[in-house]
Amino acid sequence: MKGAAAAAALPLLSNQLPFYESLAHAATESDLVIAKGGSPTQLLQAAMTPLGGMSRFVKKGQRVVIKANIAWARTPEQACTNNPELTMALIKMCYEAGAKRVAIWDHTCDNYQFTFSRSGLKEAGQKAGADVFSGHGRNVYKQVEIPKAKKLKTAEILRDVLESDVFINFPIPKQHFATELTLGMKNLIGIVWDMEQLHKIDLHQCIADINTLRKPDLVVMDAFRILTTNGPKGPGKTEDPGEVIVSTDIVAVDAYGAAFFKNPKTGKPFKPEEIKFVKHAYDLGLGEIDLSKVRMKKVSAT
């Protein structure tokens, strides 16, 4: 709690960016950029520029791992999996920044062969030059301790996510019946071997606990089209916010993403605190939940 409080207080004390250790980042204009209006490729380009460009995150010769959402055997139009065009743009951007290799991972819920082909993401990923991997074999996981966790003290995590140079979390926001919403942090459930077991422990706390393991170097939220009912598997109603949100602060991204959806109880957009795992993550000091304390920037892609 102390750490979180300090993190929250820091922006008041200095003009420098609080969330990044390196001084180089001070050159950037904002912490959270929302790009709207344009094609997925344009949106990503527009969003990354104020954040310092991809070269801020990916250096020459580095290995990049992207955790995408390819969990379900659904088509791109159904908005249950990432937008293929945006996925391609993200991979290409990493390679342009000098990445040696880009790998896309997901531990799928439906059979990986069907999710990879129906979502169009294997084809898109490979076209852009990335390796698209599925975590269906236990051998690609590594048992690790999670020291900062409150409940999930140990878990088997995708080895490549832990060992890569750069880790990009690439979620798609969706309605989710059990946890209200699927946002950026929930996306990391897909790096765990025993996904279903987390429901037995305490799903919300586990989501926050897993996020303490490795802070993503970059979060790219794919809100080009979102699923608003029957989540997370759908098919359900979709909306087209046409936005791409980028940040390094996953809690801030989730806090922003929550407002895409209406809380059925209040009829108003979700407040970040109403999503328990976002609250838990904030309590663990993973990022800023109060968007008024985050330097947000909205840009237009066209």
Partner 1 sequence: MNRAVPYLRRTVQALSFCFLLYLIIQTAFPLELKIPVDLYLRLDPFIGIISLFTQKEIILRMLPALGVLLLVFIFGNFFCGWFCPMGTTIDFFDRILFREKKRPKPLDDRSLRRFRYGVFIFALITGLMAFQVMYLLDPISLITRTMVISFYPPAIYIYNHLLPQIQALLPRNPVILSSIPLPLFKVNLLIFLFFIIILALGVIRKRFWCRYLCPLGTLFSISSRFRIFRRSVTDECTHCQKCVRECPVGAIPEETPEQYRQEDCVSCFKCLECPPKAVSFGFASPQLKTVDGVTLSRRYVLGSFAFGLASSLVIKTNPLQSESGLKNNRLIRPPGSLPEEKFVSVCTGCGECLKVCPNNALQSTFLEAGLAGLYTPRLVPRIGYCEEFCNFCGRVCPTEAIRPVTIEEKRLLQIGVAHIDKTRCIAWDTDKICLVCNEQCSYQAIVGDDKKRPIIKEEKCTGCGICENKCPVDGESAIIVHSSGVQKKLKPEPNNNHQG
**Residue 138 binds to partner 1 (criterion: CB under 8 A):** yes
**Residue 205 binds to partner 1 (criterion: CB under 8 A):** no
Which is nearer to partner 1, 24 or 178 (by Cβ)? 178
- Indicate which single residue of 39, 53, 126, 131 sits in contact with partner 1 (rule: CB under 8 A): 131
Binding characters for partner 1, 110-129, by CB under 8 A (x = yes) = xx-xx--xx-----------
Nearest by Cα to 158 from 186, 124, 195, 183: 195
C-alpha to C-alpha distance for 172 and 94, rounded to whole angstroms? 19
Which is nearer to partner 1, 56 or 174 (by Cβ)? 174
The least distance separating partner 1 from the CB of residue 4, rounded to whole angstroms, comes to 24
Nearest by Cα to 186 from 253, 100, 262, 273: 253
**DSSP code of 192?**
B
Which is nearer to partner 1, 84 or 287 (by Cβ)? 84
**Residue 87 binds to partner 1 (criterion: CB under 8 A):** no
Say if residues 170 and 82 touch (Cβ distance below 8 Å). yes
- Indicate which single residue of 20, 39, 42, 109 sits in contact with partner 1 (rule: CB under 8 A): 109
**Bridge partners, residue 175, by sequence:** 181
Both tokens of 207, joined, read 């989501």
C-alpha to C-alpha distance for 113 and 73, rounded to whole angstroms? 9
Dihedral of the alpha carbons of 198, 200, 203, 207, in degrees to the nearest 10: -20
Q: Which region among 5-13, 87-95, 170-178, 242-250 touches partner 1 (by CB under 8 A)?
A: 170-178
- Indicate which single residue of 43, 99, 103, 155 sits in contact with partner 1 (rule: CB under 8 A): 103
Say if residues 115 and 72 touch (Cβ distance below 8 Å). yes
- Indicate which single residue of 14, 15, 22, 139 sits in contact with partner 1 (rule: CB under 8 A): 139
**Residue 38 binds to partner 1 (criterion: CB under 8 A):** no
Residue appearing with tokens 């989730």:
254
Run of H or E residues at 88: helix 84-96
Bridging pattern class, strands 63-67 and 101-106: parallel
Q: Which residues contact 246 (CB under 8 A, 6 or more apart)?
A: 32, 33, 35, 44, 47, 48, 51, 218, 219, 220, 221
**Residue 134 binds to partner 1 (criterion: CB under 8 A):** yes
Which is nearer to partner 1, 75 or 212 (by Cβ)? 75
- Indicate which single residue of 11, 53, 129, 235 sits in contact with partner 1 (rule: CB under 8 A): 235
168-186 b/e with 16+ CB inside 10 Å = b? bbbbbbbbbeebbbbbbbb
The least distance separating partner 1 from the CB of residue 64, rounded to whole angstroms, comes to 12
- Indicate which single residue of 153, 199, 262, 268 sits in contact with partner 1 (rule: CB under 8 A): 199
Which is nearer to partner 1, 73 or 94 (by Cβ)? 73
The least distance separating partner 1 from the CB of residue 202, rounded to whole angstroms, comes to 7
**Residue 156 binds to partner 1 (criterion: CB under 8 A):** no
Measured between alpha carbons, how far apart are the two ends of the chain, in Å?
42
Tell me the number of residues near partner 1 by CB under 8 A.
41
- Indicate which single residue of 16, 29, 96, 177 sits in contact with partner 1 (rule: CB under 8 A): 177
For partner 1, the binding residues (CB under 8 A) are 63, 73, 75, 77-78, 101, 103, 109-111, 113-114, 117-118, 131, 133-140, 159-160, 176-179, 196-197, 199-200, 202-204, 230, 232-233, 235-236
